[in-house]
Chain A
Amino acid sequence: MSEAEAAFLRLVRPCWRRLHLVARHYARSAEDARDLVQETLLRGWAAYHSGEDRSYREGWLFVIQRRVAAEWARRAGRRVRLDTLGHDELTDLVGTELSEPLDALPASTEQRFDEFLDDDLAAAFDALEPPFREVVLLSIGADLSYREIAEVLDCPLGTVMSRMARARRALRERLASVARASGWKVGSSP
């Protein structure tokens, strides 16, 4: 194995699981997600090998992955979905000012609150608007910094911060809504 090949694979290894996690968000099936990761790695290697992009920070592969997903979405939208809403549209989705109090969650014991989250948090996350889901996934799932996310999404850092705050608020709103619908007493937090 050449030094370049070994170095590239050393770069890929810690990102492997996270690349698949994010690819699964873009792709319509697990198999398409794996193909997306495969294409990402091929392009990543082409850039690395040619010396085209020498800033091999962790987010770099995720930038490539999103670029590939965007191309596939334009060419044949069946395999991937990439919802790109404008900043104003996202603001309308969570119109609350970011300085306002967060939605209250069920008043309960700590254990019951834990159980509530175990049951409903994943579903609330899945129900988020795709751009909100994406930014949370890139941060919490892929463990990218806001700066890296800004590169992936090709938007300013401030937009990432604002979108992240709105996404987490949206998640909180959904959970509060699920709690109310389930008959939980929503009031002061546990």
Chain B
Amino acid sequence: MICSEARQYIFAFLDNELDRALTLEVQRHIEHCPLCARECEIENVMRRKLVDALRERDEPPAFDEPALLELVRCGASGAGPARPKYSRRWKLGAAGAIAAAVLFAVTLFVARRGGEPGPTALADALAADFDHFVTEGGSLQIVSADAKEVSDWLSARTALAVRVPTLDAGRGTLLGGRKCKINGASAAFAVYRVSGELVSVVALQGSGDVLASMKRIQSDGHTHWVDHRQEHTVVACRRGDLVYAVVSRLPEKALLPLMPPGEN
């Protein structure tokens, strides 16, 4: 590939929109062409800064689930002379406020008990996602060894406050990340190479209930959950309202350093 060809694809390359063959061609060209590599770096910085600049703009209203539920219900029933405007002159009568509070409590209850991946289903889904990643050729949406950069990228795209672990030198290398779905729920996926094997670290929203059927272990004063499967080991823990799970073909002992300190 020559420079003029690479220039046509540079933006699509940075946006991860090229097919695998073309991505590799552009990548190979950049590795051997300092000028195009520099242009790529500049555009990458510009892209990152634009993401930050756009995020700092007008703060939207907070995601208010009870109010939105009320909105869609009124919209669905066509109730009232006009649809309620949650963004202006939004007033709830006393009865409406009580109904909203009850609804919110029910919503919390339902969110804790239902709508989350089931305990066995979670380990299955994680293992399946890991296999899918490996067999599809390991396509990442952000390629970086910087844990903060990968964490910020994943947080921005999944609305999860993700912090991927930083490994000590010699223990392994962070390769990058991608957003994915686990049982339909948005999740953040980071991948490492440890002792020559791929290891994924997945973060998703969930209570500790989803870990209930996994084996609970204590290690260095911290609690983790483990599921030993035929071809994979899944190690998980809770951190705030997130569940972190590490999946690999490596044994449990090799995966523990990748666990963030969990809650007991």
* Contacts from A to B (Cβ < 8 Å): 1, 5-10, 12-14, 16-17, 20-21, 24, 30-31, 33-35, 37-38, 41-42, 45-46, 49, 98-102, 105, 113-114, 117-118, 121-122, 125, 136-137, 139-141, 143, 145-146, 161, 164-165, 168, 171-172, 175, 189-190
Contact = CB atoms under 8 A, between A and B. Distances in A.
Do most interface residues of chain B lie in helix, strand or loop, or is the interface mixed?
helix
Contact of B71 (A10, A21, A42): A42
B132 interface: no
A35 B49 contact: no
Q: B53, B76, B158: which has the most chain A beta carbons within 10 Å?
A: B53
A84 B7 CA distance: 27
Contact of A122 (B53, B86, B87): B53
Do most interface residues of chain A lie in helix, strand or loop, or is the interface mixed?
helix
Interface residues of B, number: 52
A118 B49 contact: yes
B47 A42 contact: no
Contacts of B107: 1, 6
A119 to B, nearest CB: 11
Interface in B26-49: 38-39, 42-43, 45-47, 49
B85 A38 contact: yes
A35 B81 CA distance: 17
A131 to B, nearest CB: 16
18 contacts: A6-B107, A9-B69, A14-B159, A17-B60, A17-B159, A20-B61, A34-B86, A35-B85, A42-B83, A99-B5, A102-B39, A117-B45, A121-B50, A122-B53, A140-B50, A143-B157, A161-B17, A190-B42
